[in-house]
Amino acid sequence: MDIHLDTLLGLPYATVFTCYQKAGFIILKLDLINEGINCHHCQTYTDKLHEDRPILVRDLSICGQKVYLQVPRRQFECPNCQKTSTERLSFLETRRRYTVRYEEYIYERVKELTAEQVSQNEDLSPKIVTSIFQRMASRKKRLGTT
Ligand SMILES: [Zn+2]
């Protein structure tokens, strides 16, 4: 049986370019298959890449190992209005260092355990666990999904 890594990853427009193992964690380097985006200012389609500054974000563990995704953060320049737009990703909110599904996971775990236990299990500081929990709780409140 051959399951492709991208299928396992399950993130829209993302494909695993390569993966490597470090002490205690795995890094999956992602590529995005869409070549451009619509300008956030005037909606014109652009594939004129201005800048790409990849970031490392924590994702759900695989086989008991911590996982970080190296995600391209692309800025595109608009041929129409000349402004630049940073690509929005459905699985990662702006300026976050954790995927949305990882934050969801932390939220659910804290509901079952304590922030202290989750902090130990996930190797995150208690402060971060609490802030993720509070953030997700207010997000759910806002979206009315509690
Ligand atoms: Zn534009």
pLDDT of the residue at 127: 96
Phi, psi of 67 (to 5 degrees): -125, 130
The pLDDT of residue 63: 84
Instruction: Specify the pLDDT at position 4.
Output: 80
Identity at 114, one-letter amino acid code: T
pLDDT, tens digit, for every residue of 67-119?
Answer: 999 999 999 999 999 999 999 999 999 899 999 999 999 999 999 999 999 99
Ligand 1 is an ion; residues with CB less than 5 A from it: 39, 41-42, 44, 78, 80-81
Q: Which residue ranges make up each domain of the chain? A: 1-93, 98-146
Q: Tokens for 36?
A: 């451009």
Query: How far is CA 56 from its chain centroid?
Result: 9
> What radius of gyration, in Å, describes the C-alpha atoms of the chain?
17
Q: How far is the CA of 62 from the centre of ligand 1 (A)?
A: 40
User: Does 1 have pLDDT greater than 50?
Assistant: no
| Contact by Cβ (8 Å): 69, 30 | yes
Please state whether the predicted TM-score (pTM) of the whole model is above 0.85: yes
CB atoms within 10 A of CB 25: 15
Mean of the per-residue pLDDT values of the chain: 93
Write the DSSP symbol of residue 36.
-
Q: Tell me the CA end-to-end span of the chain in Å, nearest whole number.
A: 39
